[in-house]
Amino acid sequence: MLSSEKPTLPAANDAGAPPLSDSRERVLHCINTALSRKAQRLVVMNVREISSFADYFLICSGSSDRQVKALCSHLQENLKKLGMRPLGVEGEKHGRWILMDYGDVVVHIFLEPLREFYDLERLWVNAPRMAVPDETDRIEELAEGL
């Protein structure tokens, strides 16, 4: 893509329903979906003010390559129902670090040792962030910080 514009999401999902209205709403659905598959150490970073390509990074971990792949598959499946289709997915074959680009929301799913090695949270230290407890029941209460 040659322009500096952020990519746009599809206009409707398979059932014809309108897409989610804003990036905050989309990242909340990503959080809920990841937690429903036992994503670990979930962190949401608001990169809107320091990035030209995304509003949010969602970073989470899995304890095995199988869980990392399952998280990716579950996210794709469930977000598609909401009209969210990834612009690209990288790393799905090996299940060690999967990057899912949803335009304004970028999801990073790591195998835990690789997450420690690459330490994205340190690289984006200036971004406001929110750690989401693994056992969160009501994400709406946490969402006020986004």
In this predicted model, what pLDDT tens digit does every residue of 37-90 receive, in sequence order? 999 999 999 998 998 899 999 999 999 999 999 999 999 999 999 888 999 999
Which amino acid, residue 72? C
* Beta carbons of 29 and 58 less than 8 angstroms apart: no
Cβ distance 46 to 146 under 8 Å?
yes
- The per-residue pLDDT of the chain, averaged, comes to 82
CA distance 76 to 39: 14
**Superfamily name and number for 23-126:** Beta Polymerase, domain 2 (3.30.460.10)
Q: What are the structural domain ranges in the chain? A: 23-126
